[in-house]
Amino acid sequence: MRPSFKKALQRAAINARKLRPTVLYKEDILSLLTASDGKEMEALFNEADEVRAFWVGDEVHLRALLEFSNYCIRDCLYCGLRASNVALKRYRMAPEKIVELARKIKSMDFNTIVLQSGEDFAYDRDTVSWIIREIKKMGLAITLSLGEREFEDYRAWKEAGAHRYLLKLETSDTVLHARLRPGRTFEDRFQCLRWLKELGYQTGSGNMVGLPGQSLETIANDIALMAELRVDMAGIGPFIPNPETPLGDCPQGDIWMTLKAVAVARLAMPWAHLPATTATGTIHPQGREMALQRGANVVMPDVTPVENRKEYRIYPNKMCLFDEADHCRTCIEGKIRALGRRVARGYGHALAFQDQQTEYANGGR
């Protein structure tokens, strides 16, 4: 094991066990990401798994993902939902349908629903607020993933009862970001994340590993920035080329690089919820399980009706494309148990958020 790697791992391990971990030096994050031979990788993965157990325990949180619209006004070069993709059959669920599906999701014993779509402004501020209020009555925790919107939209939805918002930074390389997301900048995206934090959302972010033109330094920077922002969740998954996009011929993200990024994210953000992403399960048959053993503690089963799911084609060959939601739930529970872990029964709120609740309960703040 290289002395520089060993030192970086020692520093990260000590920091990750502090009550209030500080942000790791970017050089240490970078050094951990370069874990190369079997020994370094094994040490990194073991440490991440221990820190995961120490901070968030053996429970795996299930978040039911409902993809309610595949319309999008944006044109991200990597994504199949981009406005220019005319090969996609577009769908948009009626607000009442979304609420009805949420009821079904609740009856399947999920505690959290994630409402995701392209950037679809047909769902205006009031419509989304209505959906949130109706779902809130069912006792589900609500995560939104609707992309970049105005501050006032985010505020209204928080007031309506949304708990969390998921907005991946995608890549913190400003030049690459502007190239891959025409008309948008990294600063626009990061401003939204700051607003979400300011409004008190449990804020989720994340990045893609293996984007064409991305360097290891960029991945290190993505992780450092998310740690600095104290995000509550970080979704890290491989880039998967979609032939219906301009990046269709680019190579896909590497499974081991993705797993290293998840493990390093666990050390850099020990408090965070880290999903074993569907994209990771798509590029490797055991991808999600491997991520769960290397720092991850969340799985987001796709509960979108099958006829819509096949049109939510961010990338091709998505795992479990034809599995109905109840089958998905049983299947993933079995896989979690096989790893010696268990499905969480509570809401799985962010750790910082739980601290605040305790502070409120104790009359603090």
Q: Which residues bind ligand SF4 (CB under 6 A)?
A: 72, 74, 76, 79, 81-82, 118-119, 147
> Which of 60, 208, 226, 292 lies at the binding interface for ligand SAM (CB under 6 A)?
208
**Cα separation, 213 vs 180, whole angstroms:** 10
Among 48, 62, 64, 79, binds ligand SAM (CB under 6 A): 79
Nearer CB in complex with ligand SAM: 148/333: 148
Residue 192 in contact with ligand SAM, rule: CB under 6 A = no
The one of ligand SAM, ligand SF4, none whose footprint includes residue 348, by CB under 5 to 8 A per kind, is: none
User: Which of ligand SAM, ligand SF4, none interacts with 112 (beta carbon under 5 to 8 A by kind)?
Assistant: none
User: Closest Cα partner for 311 from 72, 66, 91?
Assistant: 91
DSSP, collapsed to helix, strand or coil, labels residue 228 as helix
Report the residue from 119, 173, 222, 302 that binds ligand SAM according to the rule CB under 6 A.
119
Q: Is 290 in the site for ligand SAM (CB under 6 A)?
A: no
**Does residue 113 sit in helix, strand or coil?**
strand
Q: Is 170 in the site for ligand SAM (CB under 6 A)?
A: yes
Q: Specify the residue, 47 or 119, whose C-beta has the smaller distance to ligand SAM.
A: 119
Q: Give the torsion sign (CA, 213, 217, 220, 222).
A: negative
Determine contact, residues 173/214, Cβ cutoff 8 Å: yes
To ligand SF4, the closest distance from the beta carbon of 245 in angstroms equals 9
Binding partner of 82, given ligand SF4, ligand SAM, none, CB within 5-8 angstroms per partner class: ligand SF4
List, as one string, the DSSP characters of 123-189. S-HHHHHHHHHHHHTTT-EEEEE--S--HHHHHHHHHHT--EEE---B---HHHHHHHSTT--HHHH
Query: Hey, which residues between 291 and 320 contact ligand SAM (CB under 6 A)?
Result: 314-315
Q: Do residues 245 and 29 touch, judged by C-beta distance below 8 A? A: no
What is the end-to-end Cα distance of the chain in Å, rounded?
Answer: 47
**Closer Cβ to ligand SF4, 147 or 287, answer by number:** 147
Q: Does 116 bind ligand SAM (CB under 6 A)?
A: yes
Quick one: tokens of 27? 């050089």
240 binds ligand SAM (CB under 6 A): yes
In 3-state terms, what secondary structure has residue 204? strand
Q: How far apart are CA 302 and CA 61, in angstroms?
A: 14
Cβ at position 15, least distance to ligand SAM in Å:
28
**Of 158, 161, 211, nearest in space to 186 by CA:** 211
Using CB under 6 A, pick the residue from 81, 115, 225, 344 that binds ligand SAM.
81
**In the numeric block, which tokens belong to residue 13?**
């391990």
CA distances from 329 to 64, 74, 141, 168, 326 (A): 9, 32, 17, 25, 5
From the list ligand SAM, ligand SF4, none, partner contacted by residue 279 (C-beta under 5 to 8 A by kind)? ligand SAM
- Using DSSP's 3-state secondary structure scheme, residue 203 falls into strand
- Tell me if 45 contacts ligand SAM by CB under 6 A: no
Q: From ligand SAM, ligand SF4, none, which one binds at residue 202 (CB under 5 to 8 Å depending on kind)?
A: none
- For ligand SF4, give the closer residue by CB, 313 or 329: 313
Return the residue of 145, 214, 280, 297 that touches ligand SAM, per CB under 6 A. 145
157, 164, 50: which is closest to 111 by C-alpha?
Answer: 164
CB of 365 to ligand SAM, least distance (A): 31
Q: Which residues bind ligand SAM (CB under 6 A)?
A: 78-79, 81, 116, 118-119, 145, 147, 167-168, 170, 208, 237, 239-240, 242, 279, 314-315
